[in-house]
């Protein structure tokens, strides 16, 4: 997918129309629910089955746009907007007999111009690696989208397989556009980044190794309890709320490091926060010193088993000087525990570029791979912030050597 220069007016230009629930006819639902189209649309927000399409129209943050010819919907865009950061995820799918490439080329510039005019600051598209060849003619005309990352081995529920996903994005702010026909912002970025986006070297790997890793047959799930030589990790509940944790969560440094909306916690609101985690697929996990029992940090982990994926966030109390050492000593036992207990293949974490304590710990890393830098992904108090994306995998062969960001 790409952004092109505005096209000159021509006859019979396809109409771009916002769709409502009543527009989802059986014929439209049938081709939108086809596995290939559903997998493409599912890159904007989770879609695993055709019967979920109707719910798109009831979500305030989701827009569905139809590309119409002769009053028939020949292609659709699904747009999911993150209201806090004004970042829109966009996906495209076309009917089986439609000229999808031509419809995309004609309608995408108009849709992007409209969204930017309405205050959207960034538009991102997640492109399946298997679809890159189909849209390459458009990428060669690209003027606004640039490559931000490559998410390795994402599980696609609609297709029942794994594929790599490329992230390409465009910004409303001028000055961060690539040269025409390129996906790189400049030559130095291109030379530094090619090694991260090319295919992984797979020496001495047979076909069996390229299949998805076997999921655990007996899943325990539930709360987390992990002991390491220096630390104890356990899932927190509403009973763990106390004034010390209230004071801690209200720390500007802590909230700033995670770029959370400003909110002043009280003891009741903290209890409500902890009660909102289900202690299973969505956990708030405390990190304690084993010697003193003192709470020094926490992880949040959100599991999506239908996508075989989990998202992890870590926060260490600002006064804790050994933050990087705590991460190195606890994150691998925690992720290994989740791979043993949940039907997931991959765990991803995102770190603000301003969170130097976490980024400086990466030379000691042997678990997480670098997957991308998302430009101006978040709106912070001092302006828009970049985010670095890292992931780890169930398959140990996909994990890096110590201090590296690519597989062994």
Rounded Cα distance between 6 and 364, Å, is: 48
> Could you say which of 3.30.70.20, 3.20.20.70, 3.40.630.30, 3.40.50.300 is the CATH number of the domain covering 15-199?
3.40.630.30
Distance of CA 198 to the CA centre of its chain: 20
Closest to 312 measured CA to CA, from 298, 325, 323: 298
CB 67 within 8 A of CB 74: yes
Q: How many CB atoms lie within 10 A of CB 27?
A: 11
CB-based contacts of 322, cutoff 8 Å, min separation 6: none
3-class SS at 289?
strand
pTM: 0.87
CB 28 within 8 A of CB 38: no
CB 350 within 8 A of CB 372: no
CB-based contacts of 375, cutoff 8 Å, min separation 6: 122, 146, 148, 169, 171, 176, 386
DSSP state at residue 240: G
Q: Is 385 left (phi over 0), alpha (psi -120 to 50) or beta?
A: beta
CB-based contacts of 203, cutoff 8 Å, min separation 6: none
Q: How many CB atoms lie within 10 A of CB 29?
A: 13
Burial of residue 167 (number of CB atoms within 10 Å: 0-12, 13-18, 19+)? buried
Give phi and psi for 95, each to the nearest 5: -65, 155
pLDDT at 322: 65
Q: Which CATH class is domain 222-398?
A: alpha beta
Using CA atoms, how far residue 66 sits from 15, 105, 238, 262, in Å, is: 8, 14, 46, 37
pLDDT at 262: 67
Give phi and psi for 314, each to the nearest 5: -130, 140
Q: How many CB atoms lie within 10 A of CB 324?
A: 20
Give me 167's structure tokens: 């992230």
pLDDT at 71: 87
CB 374 within 8 A of CB 389: yes
CB 164 within 8 A of CB 155: no
DSSP state at residue 407: B
Give me 387's structure tokens: 């985010």
Closest to 387 measured CA to CA, from 397, 375, 402: 375
Every domain of the chain with CATH number 3.40.630.30 lies at: 15-199, 222-398
Q: Do β-strands 383-393 and 346-352 pair in parallel, antiparallel, or remain unpaired?
A: antiparallel
* DSSP-assigned letters across all residues of 200-225: PP-TT--GGGGSPPPPPSS---S--E
* DSSP-assigned letters across all residues of 64-86: EEEEEETTEEEEEEEEEEETTTT
> For each of the chain's 408 residues, which pLDDT tens digit applies?
444 444 444 456 789 999 999 999 999 999 999 999 999 999 999 898 999 999 999 999 999 999 999 889 999 999 999 998 999 999 999 999 899 899 999 999 999 999 999 999 999 999 999 888 888 888 888 889 999 999 999 999 999 999 999 999 999 988 888 888 888 887 776 776 666 676 665 433 343 444 556 676 667 789 999 999 999 999 999 999 988 888 888 887 776 666 666 678 899 999 999 999 998 999 999 999 998 998 988 999 999 999 999 999 988 876 665 666 788 889 999 999 999 999 999 999 998 888 777 776 666 677 888 899 999 999 887 789 999 999 999 988 888 876 666 665
Strand partners, 68: 15, 73
Instruction: Please report how the helices 132-139 and 100-117 are oriented relative to each other, as an axis angle in degrees rounded to 10.
Output: 60
pLDDT at 225: 95
Rounded Cα distance between 41 and 198, Å, is: 25
DSSP state at residue 399: S
pLDDT at 381: 77
Per-residue pLDDT reduced to its tens digit, 183-230? 888 777 677 666 667 666 543 334 344 455 667 666 778 999 999 999
CB 83 within 8 A of CB 103: no
């Amino acid at each position: 997918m790409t952004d092109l220069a505005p096209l000159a007016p021509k006859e019979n230009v396809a109409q771009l129309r916002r769709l409502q629930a009543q527009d989802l006819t059986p014929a439209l639902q049938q081709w939108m629910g086809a596995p290939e189209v559903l997998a493409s649309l599912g890159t904007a927000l989770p879609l695993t089955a055709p019967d979920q399409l109707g719910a798109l129209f009831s979500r305030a943050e989701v827009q569905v746009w139809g590309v119409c010819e002769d009053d028939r919907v020949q292609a659709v865009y699904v747009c999911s907007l993150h209201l806090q950061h004004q970042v829109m995820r966009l996906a495209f799918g076309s009917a089986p007999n439609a000229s999808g490439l031509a419809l995309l080329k004609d309608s995408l510039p108009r849709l992007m111009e409209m969204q930017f005019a309405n205050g959207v600051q960034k538009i991102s598209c997640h492109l399946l690696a298997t679809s890159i060849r189909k849209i390459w003619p458009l990428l060669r005309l690209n003027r606004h989208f640039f490559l931000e990352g490559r998410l390795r081995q994402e599980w696609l529920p609609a297709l029942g397989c794994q594929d790599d996903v490329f992230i390409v994005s465009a910004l409303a702010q001028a000055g961060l556009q690539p040269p025409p026909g390129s996906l790189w912002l400049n030559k130095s970025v291109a030379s530094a980044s090619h090694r991260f986006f090319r295919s992984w070297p797979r020496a001495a790997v047979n076909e069996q190794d390229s299949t998805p890793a076997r999921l655990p047959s007996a899943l325990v799930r539930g709360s987390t309890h992990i002991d390491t030589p220096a630390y104890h990790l356990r899932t927190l509940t509403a009973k763990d709320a106390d004034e010390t944790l209230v004071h801690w969560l209200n720390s500007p440094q802590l909230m700033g490091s995670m770029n959370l909306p400003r909110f002043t916690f009280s003891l009741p609101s903290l209890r409500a926060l902890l009660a909102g985690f289900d202690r299973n697929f969505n956990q708030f996990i405390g990190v304690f010193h084993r010697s003193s029992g003192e709470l020094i940090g926490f992880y949040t982990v959100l599991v999506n088993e239908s996508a075989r994926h989990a998202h992890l966030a870590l926060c260490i109390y600002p006064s804790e000087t050994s933050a990087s050492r705590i991460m190195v000593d606890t994150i691998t036992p925690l992720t290994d525990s989740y791979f043993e207990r949940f039907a997931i293949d991959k765990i991803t974490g995102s770190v603000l570029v301003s969170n130097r304590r976490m980024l400086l710990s990466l030379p000691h890393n042997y678990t997480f791979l670098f997957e991308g830098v998302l430009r101006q992904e978040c709106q912070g108090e001092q302006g828009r912030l970049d985010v670095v994306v890292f992931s780890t995998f169930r398959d140990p062969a996909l994990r890096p050597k110590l201090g590296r960001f690519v597989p062994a």
